[in-house]
Structure 1
Amino acid sequence: MASQALNVLISDKVLAYVREAATSRYGLEQIHFIPFSGQPLDEQTLAQLDIAFVSRDITGRSTKFVLEPATAIFYQMLEQAPRLQWVHVHSAGVDRPVYVSLRDKGLSVTSSTGALSAIVAQSALAAVLALNRRFRFLEQAQREHKWAPLLDELMPADLHGQHVMLAGWGPIAQTIQRYLDMLGMQVTVLRNSAIDRAAIGATNGATDSATNSTPNGAGNSPTNVPMIPYSAMHQLLPQTEWLILACPLTETTRQLVDRQALAAIKPGACIVNVSRGEVIEEAALIDALSTGHIAGAYLDVVEKEPLVVDSPLWDMPNVMVSPHTAGHSSGNEARVADIFLENLNNWVHGLPLRNLSR
């Protein structure tokens, strides 16, 4: 148990909620919260930081490649704080260079895996329905005041019975699988072969201590879903009609969907990416979309964000692009803060941190 006050760097936007909950929910009295309002801390205060909470408002519209000024200041302070021990991040992924650097230096870095699971999964489900029901085509027809029923070659195929290859098996992917099961789609999961099959029944996110339930409706994962390692992906691609990417970015998943994989997938397949842009070889995907070998794609992420203005993806009639926003929802701020608070209590009492990045 911590015997002295901990100094926590936190956004002034979420400070009031976190401070009140830390006291009323967990009885954490010995926490000194240092608010961040977009300006650098003085050297003396910076030297006292123990913990930092990177909430959504701090990253704002920054991407992995382009930082807003306030985000850059905050990241620089993380790198420079000599006593900093633990950083909690609002996102499920912690592959931004600053987080990798901090982890490599020995700091604890935790994510908010579980907080956004249902929201991202809902976006993936919406994408499947929109691509299948040809919403892009119907939207364009409406703009042109054209009555264009989905007949003949435009007739959508039944989703029931179609084969989905789902990359990843964290809380997001598990929620997506349940939604697809509701539609009668047949799912095969791609996951790391090093993960023990005996652990399939457990979710990657811990239960929510406040509600004694799995975060955001993640629920218990089914044990009867076919699963194969990433190395076996190409064996099933010729039978794959949907490729849904909800995996973390690792050395295994980087460029997982390369030109060879795209060539092997069943003609007319669709791709949904709510993972990371680097999981797909983007130039090869553009080529496959242009020829129609890939019938359509929903891309919430791209190789380099923001997407360059002259990318062909913007104007492709069979592509939906969203600006890394599949997980955005009004309830996220509280859910993320609650995970941070749970971990703060764990830190104070010497308990294991939830969602610790390794």
Structure 2
Amino acid sequence: MSDDTQAFATPLRVLVSEPLRAAQGERIRACASPAPVLLTVDDVEQRGAQFDIAFVSRDVTGLSTKHETQPETARVYTAMRESQSLRWVHIHSAGADRPIYLELLARGVTLTSSAGTNAEVVAQSAVTGLLMLGRRFPELIAAQQQRQWAPLIDRPPLPADIHGQTATIVGWGGIGQAIARILQVIGLHIQVVRSSAAPIDNGLSSHAFEDIAQVLPTTDWLILACPLSDRTRQLIHRERLALLPAGARLINVSRGDVVDEPALIDALTHARLAGAYLDVFAHEPLAPDSPLWTMPNVIATPHSAGFAAGNAARVVQIFIDNLARYAKNSALVNVVR
């Protein structure tokens, strides 16, 4: 069917949040003809309404994680599970590893992500973590909180020059490429580990996930920015952590399950790893008794590397563009395979 041919004679039924319907309903209805019918979870629960499409915006997931689901989020998940007419779900995140998404994929529902909408934001967070660790800001902030004048010159050794160090970036999507671009400006050498060892256009060294051991001994900064998959789950295990040189540091803005977390804690505790910036964890929220909270060489943030005020508008635009494609039976972008 050609792109300019409408594929549906009856209006598409789309599940959205109430705030999104109020704020963006007019734009969403204008992107297809006949205009889509926008439903909320209240409509589904009270009237038994069926829907063809669901848009899981940021306000739907709220404070839920893939491990712990808040009641309001659970209502939407239940509605998607019970809708027999559901054919397509668009999600606000780049990652699609929540159990509900895997369940829908297994059922044959098309899933699209918002990959790319927060790539620059996540990259900025990753580089911020690198610079803070490299310049020993955790120590300086701790001294500030104690009202102590504690210049680094009085606490040798001084921080190593970041310029000229080597960063190994695991994952070569929008986030990994944005991190590399920024770090090259700072003066770091870049090695890439990704799904394929095929050469990269810009000439950077490229290695497949399975060959990561080859580059770890020359890595000062191990930066994880890859999707979670069968190939990347526990990619950084105890033996691979041991291959990193003394003084190396780890940054994880991907998924907690990419790393063997107990092995990471052990390496940090015994100074086999000099430090880490962690935005993701094996279980989220991170348990209050996790030692990662209080380690002086760790920056731990609550899966917040990708949050920025402009994200919501970018996510909505991807959904609207895809909805227009869907209404014409055209290929969708960011389909999760």
Q: TM-score range by the shorter chain?
A: over 0.9
- Alignment correspondent of 1:168: 171
Q: Which runs of 5+ in 2 are unaligned?
A: 1-6
1:73 correspondence with 2:75:
yes
- Alignment correspondent of 1:218: none
**What is the aligned counterpart of 1:312 among 291, 296, 300?**
291
The number of aligned residues is: 330
Contact 1:237/1:264 (CA < 8 Å) preserved in 2? yes
Task: Output the CA distance in 2 between the equivalents of 1:27 and 1:290.
Answer: 56
Aligned positions of 1:221-300 closer than 5 A? 223-300=202-279
Aligned positions of 1:159-238 closer than 5 A? 159-193=162-196, 197=199, 200=200, 223-238=202-217
Q: CA deviation at 1:117?
A: 0.6
Q: CA deviation at 1:20?
A: 2.3
Worse overlay, 143-152 or 324-333: 143-152
Task: Output the CA distance in 2 between the equivalents of 1:175 and 1:18.
Answer: 30
- Alignment correspondent of 1:35: 40
1:301 correspondence with 2:276:
no
The sequence identity of aligned pairs, in percent, is: 45
- Alignment correspondent of 1:4: 10
Aligned positions of 1:49-88 closer than 5 A? 49-88=51-90
1:136 correspondence with 2:141:
no
Task: Output the CA distance in 2 between the equivalents of 1:145 and 1:107.
Answer: 56
Cα deviations by residue, 1:296-353 (Å, 9 ceiling, x for unpaired): 1011000000111111101100001111011011111111011111110110111111
Residue type of the partner of 1:228?
H
1:19 correspondence with 2:25:
yes
Task: Output the CA distance in 2 between the equivalents of 1:256 and 1:28.
Answer: 47
Q: CA deviation at 1:159?
A: 1.1
Contact 2:113/2:335 (CA < 8 Å) preserved in 1? yes
Cα distance change on mapping 1:82 and 1:350 into 2, 3 Å:
same
Q: CA deviation at 1:16?
A: 3.4
Task: Output the CA distance in 1 between the equivalents of 2:33 and 2:264.
Answer: 50
CA RMSD in angstroms, aligned pairs only: 1.5
- Alignment correspondent of 1:217: none
Residue type of the partner of 1:275?
S
Contact 2:32/2:323 (CA < 8 Å) preserved in 1? no
Cα deviations by residue, 1:260-291 (Å, 9 ceiling, x for unpaired): 01111111111110000000000000010011
TM-score if structure 2 supplies the norm length? 0.94
Task: Output the CA distance in 2 between the equivalents of 1:318 and 1:185.
Answer: 21
Q: CA deviation at 1:19?
A: 2.3
- Alignment correspondent of 2:156: 153
Task: Output the CA distance in 2 between the equivalents of 1:87 and 1:317.
Answer: 42
Cα distance change on mapping 1:5 and 1:40 into 2, 3 Å:
closer
Runs of 4+ deviating beyond 4 Å: none
- Alignment correspondent of 1:207: none
SS at match of 1:91: coil
SS at match of 1:14: helix
Worse overlay, 287-296 or 13-22: 13-22
Q: CA deviation at 1:40?
A: 5.7
Q: Which runs of 5+ in 1 are unaligned?
A: 202-222
Task: Output the CA distance in 2 between the equivalents of 1:51 and 1:16.
Answer: 18
TM-score if structure 1 supplies the norm length? 0.89
Cα distance change on mapping 1:349 and 1:262 into 2, 3 Å:
same
Task: Output the CA distance in 1 between the equivalents of 2:142 and 2:157.
Answer: 14
Contact 2:64/2:70 (CA < 8 Å) preserved in 1? yes
Q: CA deviation at 1:36?
A: 3.7
